[in-house]
Chains A and B, each alone.
Chain A
Amino acid sequence: MSDTAAAGAAHAAHGHHEELGFLRTYVFSTDHKMIGRQFLFLGLFMLLIGGLLAMMIRWELAWPETAVPGLKFIPEPFMYGGIIPPNTYNALFTMHATIMIFFVVMPIMVGSFGNFLIPLMIGARDMAFPKLNLLSFWVGAVAGVVMLAGFFVAGGPAASGWTGYATLSARAQYTGVEWGQNLWIISLLILGISSLMGSINYITTIINMRAPGMTYFRMPLTIWSLFITAILLLLALPVLTAALAMLLFDRTMGTSFFLPEGGGQPLLWQHMFWFFGHPEVYILVLPAMGVTSDLLSTFSRKPIFGYHAMAFSMIAIAFLSWTVWGHHMFVSGMNPLLGTAFMMTTMVIAVPSAIKTFNWLGTLWGGSIRFSVPMLFALGFVSNFLIGGLSGIFMASTPVDIFIHDTYYIVAHFHYVVAGIIFALFAAVYYWFPKMFGRMTNEPLGKIHFVLTYIFFNGAFFPMHFLGVAGHMRRIYNPTQYEFLQPMQHWNVFITVSALILGASQIFFLFNFFWSLFAGKKAERNPWQANTLEWIAASPPPHGNFEVQPVVYRGPYEYSSPEVKEDWLPQDKNLGTGAAARAH
Chain B
Amino acid sequence: MLQWLPENVSTFGGEIDSLFYLIYYITAATFILVTVLMVVFLVMYREQPGRRATYTHGNTSLEIIWTIIPAAILIVLSFMSVSTWAKVKQRAPDSDFELQVAAKQFNWEVVYPGADGKFGTDDDVKFDNDLHVPVNKVVRVQLSSKDVIHSFFLPNLRLKQDAVPGRTILVWFEATKPGKYELPCAELCGFGHSGMKGWLYVHTPEEYAKWAGENLAAKAQ
- A368 touching B52, Cβ below 8 Å: yes
Among the 9-residue stretches A98-106, A431-439, A511-519, A556-564, the one with 4 or more Cβ atoms under 8 Å from chain B is A556-564
Residue B167 CB within 8 A of the other chain: yes
Interface string of B161-205 (1 = CB under 8 A from A): 110111101000000000000101111111111110100000000
Residues of A close to B166: CB separation below 8 A:
260-261, 264-266
A260 to B162, CA, bound (A): 15
A354 to B158, CA, bound (A): 29
Which A residues, 496 to 510, have Cβ-Cβ distances below 8 Å to chain B? none
Interface string of A460-474 (1 = CB under 8 A from B): 000001100111011
Residues of A close to B24: CB separation below 8 A:
394
Instruction: Enumerate the 8 nearest inter-chain pairs by beta-carbon distance, A residue then B residue, closest first.
Output: A260-B166, A366-B54, A471-B155, A477-B194, A306-B58, A336-B89, A347-B74, A87-B191
A65 to B51, CA, bound (A): 59
Residue from A305, A368, A407, A559 whose CB has the most chain B CB atoms within 10 Å:
A368
Residues of B close to A260: CB separation below 8 A:
165-167
- Interface range on chain B (Cβ under 8 Å from partner): 35 or more
A165, A176, A304, A383: the one within 8 Å of B38 (CB): A383
- A475 touching B191, Cβ below 8 Å: no
- B53 touching A368, Cβ below 8 Å: yes
Among the 9-residue stretches B27-35, B112-120, B133-141, the one with 4 or more Cβ atoms under 8 Å from chain A is B27-35
A441 to B119, CA, bound (A): 71
Question: From residue A407, how far is it (CB to closest CB) to chain B in Å?
Answer: 7
Residue A382 CB within 8 A of the other chain: yes
- A473 touching B153, Cβ below 8 Å: yes
- A336 touching B57, Cβ below 8 Å: no
Given A168-B189, A400-B81, 19 additional A-B pairs, CB 8 A? A300-B45, A303-B57, A303-B58, A333-B161, A343-B78, A347-B78, A348-B74, A350-B70, A351-B70, A351-B74, A367-B53, A368-B51, A386-B34, A390-B27, A394-B24, A400-B19, A470-B5, A476-B184, A559-B53
- A337 touching B55, Cβ below 8 Å: no
Smallest CB-CB separation from A352: which chain B residue?
B67
16 A-B pairs within 8 Å (CB atoms) are namely A168-B189, A266-B164, A303-B57, A309-B58, A333-B164, A343-B85, A354-B70, A355-B63, A362-B63, A368-B52, A396-B78, A402-B158, A469-B5, A481-B197, A482-B182, A482-B184
- A383 touching B47, Cβ below 8 Å: no
- B165 touching A484, Cβ below 8 Å: no
Among the 9-residue stretches B94-102, B122-130, B144-152, B210-218, the one with 4 or more Cβ atoms under 8 Å from chain A is B144-152
Residues of B close to A476: CB separation below 8 A:
184, 193-194
Known contacts A332-B164, A355-B63, A475-B193; A165/B188 CB under 8 A: yes
Residues of B within 8 A of A (CB): 1-2, 4-6, 15-16, 19-20, 23-24, 26-27, 30-31, 34-35, 37-38, 41-42, 45-48, 51-59, 62-63, 66-67, 70-71, 74-75, 77-78, 81-82, 84-86, 88-90, 105, 147-149, 151, 153, 155-156, 158-162, 164-167, 169, 182, 184-195, 197
Count residues of chain A with CB under 8 A from any CB of chain B.
Answer: 98
Question: From residue B8, how far is it (CB to closest CB) to chain A in Å?
Answer: 10
Residues of B close to A301: CB separation below 8 A:
47, 52-53
Smallest CB-CB separation from A462: which chain B residue?
B1
- B81 touching A399, Cβ below 8 Å: yes
- A331 touching B160, Cβ below 8 Å: yes
Question: From residue A570, how far is it (CB to closest CB) to chain B in Å?
Answer: 16
Residues of A close to B158: CB separation below 8 A:
402-403
- B34 touching A357, Cβ below 8 Å: yes
Residues of A within 8 A of B (CB): 85-87, 89-90, 159-161, 165, 167-168, 174-176, 260-261, 264-267, 300-307, 309, 331-333, 336-337, 339-340, 343-344, 347-348, 350-351, 354-355, 357-359, 361-362, 364-371, 379, 382-383, 386-387, 390-391, 393-394, 396-400, 402-403, 405-407, 465-466, 469-471, 473-478, 481-484, 488, 557, 559-562, 567
A518 to B140, CA, bound (A): 69
A369, A406, A469: the one within 8 Å of B46 (CB): A369
A165, A167, A343, A359: the one within 8 Å of B81 (CB): A343
Known contacts A86-B194, A160-B188, A400-B23; A332/B162 CB under 8 A: yes
Smallest CB-CB separation from A264: which chain B residue?
B166
Smallest CB-CB separation from A467: which chain B residue?
B4
Question: From residue B92, how far is it (CB to closest CB) to chain A in Å?
Answer: 11
B26, B45, B90, B147: the one within 8 Å of A364 (CB): B45
A331 to B24, CA, bound (A): 21
Residues of B close to A358: CB separation below 8 A:
34, 63, 66
- B165 touching A266, Cβ below 8 Å: yes
Residues of A close to B193: CB separation below 8 A:
86, 90, 475-477
A196 to B51, CA, bound (A): 48
Residue from A85, A265, A351 whose CB has the most chain B CB atoms within 10 Å:
A351
Known contacts A302-B53, A406-B186, A406-B187; A331/B151 CB under 8 A: yes
- A305 touching B57, Cβ below 8 Å: yes
Known contacts A469-B2, A477-B194, A488-B4; A168/B70 CB under 8 A: no
Question: From residue A313, how far is it (CB to closest CB) to chain B in Å?
Answer: 9
Residues of A close to B27: CB separation below 8 A:
390-391, 393-394
Smallest CB-CB separation from B83: which chain A residue?
A399
- B74 touching A176, Cβ below 8 Å: no
B20, B48, B75, B159: the one within 8 Å of A368 (CB): B48
Question: From residue A104, how far is it (CB to closest CB) to chain B in Å?
Answer: 22
Known contacts A266-B149, A366-B53, A471-B6; A400/B20 CB under 8 A: yes
Question: From residue B21, how far is it (CB to closest CB) to chain A in Å?
Answer: 10
A559 to B188, CA, bound (A): 51
Smallest CB-CB separation from A387: which chain B residue?
B31
Residues of B close to A394: CB separation below 8 A:
20, 23-24, 27
Question: From residue A56, how far is it (CB to closest CB) to chain B in Å?
Answer: 15
Smallest CB-CB separation from A366: which chain B residue?
B54
Known contacts A387-B31, A481-B194; A350/B74 CB under 8 A: yes
A561 to B52, CA, bound (A): 10
Residues of A close to B66: CB separation below 8 A:
354-355, 358
B2, B75, B167: the one within 8 Å of A333 (CB): B167
Residues of A close to B105: CB separation below 8 A:
174
- B85 touching A399, Cβ below 8 Å: yes
